[in-house]
């Protein structure tokens, strides 16, 4: 068995061995894992290949699309505006985005969007594929969209529309494009090798993403995929309108767009750094990301129960998932862990009690709705090692 490259604390050697076992799977291509405990990095591993022909080795600085692991970065960007007094958490979005105040959306708030309670999980009207990369076209479609249910009365994950529901207010109050804002005020501020909109000079570092074959996920994944086969369902519209959402992952257009619900590109080290800072309340070693009170609000339950989009029970804070109430749905650590998975297997989260920041990325996508078994197994092994140290 080939062992991964990188650093490991000997106290976490079993995690390294498990990572190597996962990478020995014939379908595995490339992956990276980084874990911080307190101020210390205890694991920083990578292994495999990054190109579609399996010839280019995964390097220390390889980047990959982490899909919805990007969402918490966008949430922090908006909460920074709350901290600065530019937008209210419970004020109507229409105060900063007047064109939004039509079709029953006049009272929709930032808190509702962050908690997936805005009832705007998808655009119902069929959109052309190119609309995904036309900021104004997506903004206009959401301005015209009626809520799918009464806002605030229930929750349904917004897998992609989240980018414009939050991104347009961010653009208006910050005066910057959303990707540029996140790259400067979140990623660069923390020293993260991460981009929402990959610059030309960094494109060669981005891994090619492919899917695991002959794997069908858990019961919730199978229910979701069945619903996505019904063209007019909320799930089909949320994940597949425009249709280019499902087909663009490896295109230059996707990599360079500013869709911070889904197209952040980075590595495990960057995710672990982001969550390390949040595990410490939003500030660490003189670097301030977000006020500790707002970090606390992110981790508070805002939505719980059956998710109208994902067709699975989910719990959300503000822009983040919380520990789920069923086996395999949580983060594999303590009950206060919170963060966000990404489609296909990526995972970033923190456990403030254990002072853990966790990042896992892969270019081999699995079929699960919430936690991928690979990332979850690694997290559980990290936690087992931590408990042995106590």
Round to whole Å and give the CA distance between 59 and 40: 22
Distance of CA 276 to the CA centre of its chain: 16
Residue of 267, 259, 363 lying closest to 33 (CA atoms) = 267
The CATH class for the domain spanning 5-73+180-389 reads alpha beta
Round to whole Å and give the CA distance between 374 and 383: 15
The 10s digit of each residue's pLDDT in 330-356 is 999 999 999 999 998 999 999 999 999
pLDDT of residue 228: 83
Backbone φ and ψ for 255, nearest 5 degrees, come out as -60, -30
State the average pLDDT for the chain.
95
Pair 177, 166: CB distance under 8 Å: no
Sequence spans of domains, the chain: 5-73+180-389
pLDDT of residue 216: 66
The 10s digit of each residue's pLDDT in 104-114 is 999 999 999 99
pLDDT of residue 221: 78
pLDDT band at 369 (very low <50, low <70, confident <90, very high): confident
pLDDT of residue 367: 86
Q: Which of 248-262, 271-285, 314-328 has the lowest mean pLDDT?
A: 314-328
Mean pLDDT of 25-46: 97
Residues of the chain above pLDDT 70, percent = 99
Distance of CA 333 to the CA centre of its chain: 18
Pair 81, 157: CB distance under 8 Å: no
pLDDT band at 1 (very low <50, low <70, confident <90, very high): confident
Mean pLDDT of 34-57: 97
pLDDT of residue 180: 98
The 10s digit of each residue's pLDDT in 69-112 is 999 999 999 999 999 999 999 999 999 999 999 999 999 999 99
| 329 has a pLDDT exceeding 90 | no
Round to whole Å and give the CA distance between 120 and 106: 13
pLDDT of residue 173: 98
The 10s digit of each residue's pLDDT in 159-186 is 999 999 999 999 999 999 999 999 999 9
pLDDT band at 68 (very low <50, low <70, confident <90, very high): very high
Sequence-distant (≥ 6) Cβ neighbours of residue 1 within 8 angstroms:
20, 21, 24
The 10s digit of each residue's pLDDT in 223-277 is 888 888 898 999 999 999 999 998 999 999 999 999 999 999 999 999 999 999 9
Mean pLDDT of 279-295: 97
Strands 321-322 and 338-341: antiparallel
């Amino acid at each position: 068995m080939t062992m991964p490259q990188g650093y490991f604390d000997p106290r976490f050697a079993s995690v390294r061995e498990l990572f190597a076992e996962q990478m020995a799977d014939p379908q595995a291509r490339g992956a990276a894992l980084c874990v911080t405990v307190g101020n210390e990095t205890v694991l920083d591993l990578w292994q495999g290949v990054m190109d579609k022909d399996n010839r280019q080795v995964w390097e220390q600085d390889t980047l990959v699309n982490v899909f919805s692991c990007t969402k918490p970065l966008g949430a922090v960007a908006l909460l920074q505006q709350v901290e600065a007094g530019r937008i209210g958490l419970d004020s109507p979005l229409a105060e900063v985005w007047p064109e939004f105040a039509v079709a029953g959306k006049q009272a929709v708030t930032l808190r509702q969007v962050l908690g997936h309670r805005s009832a705007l999980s998808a655009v119902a009207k069929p959109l052309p594929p190119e609309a995904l990369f036309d900021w104004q076209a997506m903004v206009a479609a959401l301005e015209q969209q009626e809520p799918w249910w009464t806002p605030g009365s229930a929750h349904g994950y917004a897998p992609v529309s989240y980018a414009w529901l939050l991104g347009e207010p961010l653009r208006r109050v910050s005066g910057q494009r959303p990707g540029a804002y996140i790259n400067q005020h979140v990623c660069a501020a923390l020293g993260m090798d991460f981009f929402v909109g990959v610059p030309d000079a960094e494109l060669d570092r981005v891994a090619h993403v492919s899917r695991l074959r002959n794997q069908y996920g858990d019961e919730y994944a199978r229910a979701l995929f069945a619903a996505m086969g019904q063209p007019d369902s909320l799930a089909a519209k949320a994940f597949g309108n425009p249709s280019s959402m499902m087909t663009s992952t490896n295109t230059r257009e996707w990599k360079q767009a500013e869709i911070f619900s889904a197209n952040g590109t980075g590595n495990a080290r960057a995710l672990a750094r982001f969550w390390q800072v949040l595990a410490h309340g939003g500030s660490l070693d003189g670097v301030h990301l977000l006020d500790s009170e707002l970090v606390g609000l992110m981790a508070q339950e805002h939505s719980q129960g059956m998710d109208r989009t994902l067709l699975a029970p989910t719990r959300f804070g503000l822009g983040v998932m919380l520990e789920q109430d069923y086996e395999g749905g949580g983060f594999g650590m303590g009950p206060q862990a919170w963060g966000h998975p990404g489609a296909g297997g990526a995972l970033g989260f923190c456990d403030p009690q254990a002072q853990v920041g966790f990042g896992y990325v892969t270019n081999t996508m699995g079929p699960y709705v919430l936690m991928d078994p690979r990332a979850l197994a690694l997290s559980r092994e990290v936690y087992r090692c931590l408990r042995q140290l106590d």
